[in-house]
Structure 1
Amino acid sequence: MKKYYSIGEISKIYNISVDTLRHYEKINLLKPALKKESGYRYYSSEQIWKLNNIRNLRGLGLGLEDIKGFLETRSINSTEKILDSQLQIVKKELEKFNRLKEELLIKKLNLEYFKNDVIFGIPQLKSISKRRIIKSKGQIKEDGDIDFKIKLLSIKTLSENDFLFTENEFGGTLSRENFFQNKYDTYEEIFVINNEGTEEGDYIEKGEYVSIFYKGYYSENYKYYIKAKEFIIENNLEVIGDIFEIFHVDIHTTEDVNEYITEIQIPVIYKDKKKS
C-alpha cells in the first residue's frame, strides 16, 4: 500500500479543492503528515480516516470548529451526541419538506381549479373567511409597477420558500371611494395573504363578497367592475368596504399576461339586513 499521497492526489480522490485542504491545514484540522522543503505536502494513509470523518460530518451540517473539537476528543459518548443532534436536524428538515409537499399539492390543485373550473366574467356572491395579510403601501397604477411591487413583497415576506412553493397569494386594494367614482386604475396597496403568520398584523375580515374572475391585464378590470356593480344593484346589496383584487395567477406563474387570472372581491351586505 502506498504510504503517502500528494495534496493533488488527495484533491482528486476526494473531490476537495487544494485550497480547502490548505485551509484545513491552516486551522489545524488536517495537517499533512509530511511537508518537504519544496513546499509539497503529503498525507499518510493513516490520515484517510480523518478526512473521511471530516467529509461525513460536513455532510451532516457540522461547522469546522465543531468537527475539530469532535476529532480531538472523540469517544463513543461524543459520537452518540453528534448523532442525536443530527437526528434532530434531520427531523426538522423532514417536517419542513413535508409542509413544502403539502403546499406544492395545494398550489397544483389551485392551478388546476383556475385552469378548468373557474367561470370568468360572471359575478357571484360568496362567503370568504378571515385572511391575514402583509401590506406594502403606495399607490400603483401601471401593470408593470404592480408586478414589480409583487416581486419586492415576495422577497420581503417569503423567507424560506419562493412564491411557487407556497399557497400564499398576492392582491391589490381599490378604495371604496375610487370604486364609486369609477376609478379602477389605482391600487392603494399591494398585499400578500399569509395565513401562517402570527395573530398580530392586518386582516381582510370574513364576510360576504361579490366575486368575479377575469383574465389578462389588470388595467382591463373596469369591464368586470361594471358587471359587478350591476349585480350589486340587482341583488339589493350595499358595498361596505374597500375592494380587493386577488392575483391568483400572475407574473410568478406565467410570462404570458393573457394567462393572468385575477378575482375581484367586493365586501357587501344586503340592504334589508342593514335596516334590521
Structure 2
Amino acid sequence: MNIKDYYKIGEISKIYGIGRDSLMYYEEIGILKPFRDDNGYRMYKISDIWRLNLIKELRSLNFPMKKIKEYLDYRSIENTNKILNEEINLIDEKINELIKHKENIYKRLDSINQVVNESDFNKINVVYISKRKALKLNAYIKKDEEFDFLIQKLQKEYENRFNILGNNNIGAVFSVDKINQGIYNEFKSIFCFLENEEENYNIIVEEGYYITLTYKGSYKNNQLYLNNMFNYMKEKEYNMINDPIEIYKIDIHETGIIDEFITEIQIPIEKIKVEKNKKK
C-alpha cells in the first residue's frame, strides 16, 4: 500500500469504517479540518490521521464527542489519566445499575414462583396482617381495561414507584354497596402495597385480622368465593369491618392463560362481641 500525503473523504471513510456523515460532523464541530483541492473535494492530511485514530478509539470507549474534542484540544499525560479514570467511574456506575436491575428481575421471578408454588388454593384462612403502606387511587371501575389504565395513572403520578410485571401486591377494593346488589365485579379504588421502608405512600392499611382465600382462574369466580367467605364469617361470628380487597397475584401481565390467574381475596374482620347476662 502506498502512503499518500492526502486522502479524500471517501478513502478515509473506507479505511476507518466511518460514515461520510460522521466525518462531516467532525469537521463541523472542529475536530477535523480538511482543506479543499482545486476540484472542491475535501482532502485530509496524513499528519492529521492520528486524530481519527484517537476519535475511533475514544468512541469505542463510549466517550461523548464533546469530551473527545476537549481532550484533543488539551492533551497531556495528566488529562489522559483523568479522562480514562472518569470513564472507569462511569463504568462502575453502569455496573451498579445493572446489578440493581438484575436483583430486581430476580425479585420478580421469586415473587411469581412463590405465588405459583406456595399458595394454598380454595381454602379459607383467618390471618393477622401487619399494617401496610400503599399507593391508592379512588375511581369507580367496571372493566378490566379501566383497571389497567388507572394502574398506569397511579404509576405515573408516583414516578414509577412500583413495577407491574411480577408484582403480587397490586389490587382493587370491592364496592360493598354493589356486592349487596349482587354485583361482584365493580370496584371503588385500586392500590399497590409497598415495601415497609418505602417513604412515598398515600395510605396505611391498618393491622388486624383478615379472612383470606386464594383461587385460580377467571375473576368471575370471586362471586362464588366471596359468598363462601361471607358464610364462613356468619358461621364463625365475625363482622366485616371494612371493604374486601382483591389482590392480583398472577394476572394478564404474567400470563395470557386465564386458568393460570391467581387472585387473593382479603376481608378485614373482628369477632362479634356478645354481652353476657349479668347475674343478679
TM-score by length of 1: 0.79
Is 1:233 aligned to residue 234 of structure 2? yes
- Residue pair 1:143, 1:217 contacting (<8 A) in 2 also: no
- Residue pair 2:168, 2:248 contacting (<8 A) in 1 also: no
**TM-aligned CA distance change 1:140 to 1:200, over 3 Å:** closer
Cα distance in 2 for partners of 1:187, 1:180 equals 13
| 1:103 CA drift (Å) | 2.1
The amino acid across from 1:204 in the alignment is V
* Cα deviation code 1:187-220 (max 9, x no counterpart): 2222333436424533333333222122333343
What is the total number of aligned residue pairs between the two structures?
272
Cα distance in 1 for partners of 2:163, 2:26 equals 35
- How is 1:173-212 mapped onto 2 (pairs within 5 angstroms)? 173-179=173-179, 182-195=182-195, 197-212=198-213
| 1:16 CA drift (Å) | 4.0
Q: 174-183 or 121-130: which moved more? A: 174-183
The amino acid across from 2:89 in the alignment is Q
Cα distance in 1 for partners of 2:126, 2:102 equals 32
Q: 113-122 or 56-65: which moved more? A: 56-65
- Residue pair 1:154, 1:163 contacting (<8 A) in 2 also: no
- Residue pair 2:155, 2:162 contacting (<8 A) in 1 also: no
- Residue pair 2:168, 2:247 contacting (<8 A) in 1 also: no
**TM-aligned CA distance change 1:162 to 1:175, over 3 Å:** closer
- Superposition RMSD on alpha carbons, in Å? 3.4
| 1:141 CA drift (Å) | 0.9
**TM-aligned CA distance change 1:199 to 1:8, over 3 Å:** same
Is 1:170 aligned to residue 205 of structure 2? no
Is 1:7 aligned to residue 9 of structure 2? yes
* Cα deviation code 1:117-147 (max 9, x no counterpart): 3232222122334433333432111123323
Q: Which has the larger radius of gyration?
A: 2
SS at match of 1:80: helix
* Identity percentage of aligned residues: 33
| 1:81 CA drift (Å) | 3.0
Is 1:23 aligned to residue 22 of structure 2? no
Q: Which residue of 2 aligns with 1:127?
A: 128
- Which runs of no fewer than 5 residues in structure 1 stay unpaired? none
The amino acid across from 2:146 in the alignment is D
SS at match of 1:172: strand
- Residue pair 2:171, 2:248 contacting (<8 A) in 1 also: yes
The amino acid across from 1:184 in the alignment is Y
* Cα deviation code 1:56-76 (max 9, x no counterpart): 544555433233222211323
